[in-house]
């Protein structure tokens, strides 16, 4: 298993991390691992800009107009 060292970690952020780890009943190291795993393994949320360059079903579609029509239909 790898070791991660973080330089110049802000003191206020470390205090929050330490407090959260205590509330969760974990070590600071375990809490960091949990937070990173939860956030890095989460499916990515796409934006309109992500859709603009895609081929396939979005090719040639004005994505912003499509979204506006979808919202209007609610």
- Residues 35 and 16 both lie in one domain: yes
Whether residues 34 and 59 share a domain: the answer is no
Q: Are 51 and 73 within one domain?
A: yes
Whether 53 is covered by a domain: the verdict is yes
Please tell me the distance from the alpha carbon of residue 50 to that of residue 39, in angstroms, as a whole number: 20
* DSSP secondary structure of 28-64: HHHHHHHHHHHHHSSPPPP-HHHHHT--GGGTT--HH
Q: Cβ neighbours of residue 58 under 8 Å, at least 6 residues apart?
A: 51, 52
Low-confidence residues in the chain, pLDDT < 70: 48-49, 51-56
**pLDDT in the model for residue 53:** 64
How many domains, in total, are found in the chain?
A: 2
According to the model, what pLDDT value does residue 55 have? 64
Per-residue pLDDT reduced to its tens digit, 6-20: 999 999 999 999 999
C-alpha to C-alpha distances, 46 to 11, 43, 60, 71, 73, nearest whole angstrom: 33, 9, 18, 17, 21
Q: Which pTM does this prediction carry? A: 0.58
- The reply to whether 57 falls in a domain is yes
Q: Are 51 and 68 members of one domain? A: yes
| Domain range enclosing 18 | 11-40
């Amino acid at each position: 298993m790898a070791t991660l060292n973080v330089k110049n970690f802000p003191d206020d952020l470390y205090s929050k991390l330490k407090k959260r780890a205590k509330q969760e009943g974990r070590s600071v190291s375990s809490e960091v691992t949990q937070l990173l795993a939860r956030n890095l393994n989460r499916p990515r949320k796409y934006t309109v800009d992500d859709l603009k360059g895609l081929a396939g079903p979005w090719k040639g579609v004005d994505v912003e107009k499509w979204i506006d029509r979808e919202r209007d239909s609610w």
